[in-house]
Structure 1
Amino acid sequence: MRIETLTCHIGAEISGIDLAEAARNDDLFGEIRAALLAHKVLFLRDQAIARADHVAFASRFGALEDHPVIGSDPAHPGLVQIYKDEASPPDYYENSWHCDATWRDAPPLGAVLRCVACPPVGGDTMWANMAKAYADLPDSVKAIIAPLKARHSIEASFGARMSEDQRHALKARFPDAEHPVVRTHPETGEKILFVNGFTTHFTNFHTAENVRYGQDYAPGASQLLSFLIGRAAIPEYQVRWRWRPDSVAIWDNRSTQHYAVMDYPPTIRRMERAGIVGDRPF
């Protein structure tokens, strides 16, 4: 196995291995998992693996989860098919910086994404290192956000394109989740800036320490949240991956955000993702 670091702060390309073998080889899988913790997102080329092997490899990290809106392959539960063609409407929730499914009480640990088909140019995906984004914050900002919690909503993202009844039913199934603004990675101990495109507002900002008058709260909290969400857009924290068929990305959803660049319509882009059940942020 060869590992080539792609940027100073995030991402590495692995070559010389077969993920189908890694699904069955404990030592090889252990090396991949260690590399993932070190680099936060891993990339591989030429992985012409079967769906069953895709699911088997991802399942080494933990149980797989379905998606309530997109659904998954009936023959391979947990394998979500993100298929776009010339007639597909834009999916704006993909081309924003986000951490997968933070509207769940326990967002995913990570995911294994394989390209089935893609345009010859365009349709890249970008990832950002949110541990580095937190580490670079001024100490004064770290002090303010240390005790803060925030709401994350599926209703305000996936639900926004639904009818009112459908949107309310979706929220009833998945009430807004509340997470710390700064989470601790359960394996590395890193502090992670944990707000993203699913985050709607802080839930405990309106205290005497932060608010003297209502005007302090209305723009103050929203401006702080916008500032924090915007940290993912800093190029120094990012890596960008150009897809080819049978390329694979494996990412740690606890410490990264990602952005699927929507510059390719109207062409075909077909991806298959296995999302791994995670734990509740603390």
Structure 2
Amino acid sequence: MQVRQITPCIGAEIGGVHLGEVARDPAQFAAIRAALLQHRVLFLRDQDITRAEHVAFARCFGPLEDHPVAGSDPEHPGLVRIYRSDNPHSYENVYHCDGLWRPNPAMGAVLRCIECPEIGGDTIWVNMVKAYDELPEHIKTQIAPLRAKASIEHSFGAVMTPQARAELVAQHPAAEHPVVRTHPETGEKVLFVGAGFTSHFVNWSTPENVRHGIDKSPGASLLLNYLTSRASIPEYQVRWSWRPGDIVVWDNRSTQHYACNDYFPAPRKMERAGIVGDIPY
């Protein structure tokens, strides 16, 4: 296996492996997992694998999750088809952590390119450990005890009828997470709020933080906006231009990503296997 680091902060291109074989070889998989923990996002070109092999490789990390809106391939539960061909709208062109609205957001994902435009449709990944590490110390102290709500309601639910949106929220109520989570395998601190799903702090309005009304609003929202905007810092990012047959594997616990929606009316067809994660602490 060859590993080529792409940026100083995040991302490595992997060569010399076939993920269909990796799924059947514990030693190769262990090497892939170690590289993932080190580089956070792994990029592989020219992976001629079947949907069954795609799912089998992803399941080496753990059980797969379905999606309440996108749905899965009928023959391969957990394999979500993200096809863009006749609708310019996208949910993915915002910095986000997959499934932040769940009590247990995804551990990671394996995304395969089926079809993509000749130009455009890139995806950006961000190192959210670095986004936390380089915060000013007084901000780290301020946010250490904070928790925030994340919801599917104002993202996927926004285009639904009121009744359908209410049903979605009833099935998937807002989740509460620490603003700074601890990575369960590396012990690193991760900035764990995202513009895609985080709505507000739930324990901000204490005497330490709020002296006058302006400290509560817009004070809390200004701080949250500052934290979510950290994902847009270029030095924390890697950007990938897709080709058919590419596969990207990422650690969803320590990264966010953004899919550029700049290619309509060209088609872009991706298939993602999301891996069930733990409850953040």
Q: Same fold (TM over 0.5)?
A: yes
Letter aligned with residue 150 of structure 1: A
CA distance in 2, matches of 1:215, 1:138: 22
> Following TM superposition, by how much is the alpha carbon of 1:89 offset from its aligned partner in structure 2, in angstroms?
3.6
CA distance in 2, matches of 1:205, 1:110: 30
Q: Following superposition of structure 1 onto structure 2, how do residues 132-143 of structure 1 map, counting pairs within 5 Å?
A: 132-143=130-141
| Residue 224 of structure 1: aligned partner | 223
8 Å Cα contact 2:88-2:264 kept in structure 1: no
Instruction: Give unpaired runs (5+ residues) of structure 2.
Output: none
Match among 161, 171, 187 for residue 185 of structure 2: 187
| Residue 115 of structure 1: aligned partner | 113
| Residue 39 of structure 1: aligned partner | 39
> Following TM superposition, by how much is the alpha carbon of 1:4 offset from its aligned partner in structure 2, in angstroms?
0.1
Match of 1:30, SS? helix
> Following TM superposition, by how much is the alpha carbon of 1:2 offset from its aligned partner in structure 2, in angstroms?
0.2
Q: Structure 1 residue 95 and structure 2 residue 93: aligned?
A: yes
> Following TM superposition, by how much is the alpha carbon of 1:213 offset from its aligned partner in structure 2, in angstroms?
1.2
Letter aligned with residue 140 of structure 1: H
Q: Structure 1 residue 201 and structure 2 residue 200: aligned?
A: yes
Deviations 1:77-108 (A, max 9, x none): 000000111x22411x2100000011000000
> Following TM superposition, by how much is the alpha carbon of 1:6 offset from its aligned partner in structure 2, in angstroms?
0.2
Q: Following superposition of structure 1 onto structure 2, how do residues 154-173 of structure 1 map, counting pairs within 5 Å?
A: 154-173=152-171
Matched residue pairs, number? 280
> Following TM superposition, by how much is the alpha carbon of 1:19 offset from its aligned partner in structure 2, in angstroms?
0.2
| Residue 56 of structure 2: aligned partner | 56
| Residue 73 of structure 1: aligned partner | 73
| Residue 126 of structure 1: aligned partner | 124
| Residue 82 of structure 1: aligned partner | 82
Match of 1:215, SS? helix
Q: Structure 1 residue 277 and structure 2 residue 276: aligned?
A: yes
| Residue 259 of structure 1: aligned partner | 258
> Following TM superposition, by how much is the alpha carbon of 1:48 offset from its aligned partner in structure 2, in angstroms?
1.0
Deviations 1:181-230 (A, max 9, x none): 00000000000000002000000000000001111110110000000000
Letter aligned with residue 26 of structure 1: P
CA distance in 1, matches of 2:179, 2:249: 24
CA distance in 1, matches of 2:119, 2:191: 32
CA distance in 1, matches of 2:135, 2:109: 27
Match of 2:126, SS? strand
CA distance in 2, matches of 1:235, 1:192: 17
CA distance in 2, matches of 1:30, 1:10: 20
Instruction: Give unpaired runs (5+ residues) of structure 1.
Output: none
Identity, % of aligned pairs? 63
| Residue 21 of structure 1: aligned partner | 21
Match of 2:199, SS? strand
Letter aligned with residue 216 of structure 1: D
| Residue 245 of structure 1: aligned partner | 244
TM-score, normalised with respect to structure 2: 0.99
CA distance in 2, matches of 1:88, 1:261: 14
CA distance in 2, matches of 1:50, 1:27: 21
Letter aligned with residue 27 of structure 1: A
| Residue 214 of structure 2: aligned partner | 215
Match of 2:218, SS? helix
Structural RMSD (CA): 0.5
TM-score, normalised with respect to structure 1: 0.99
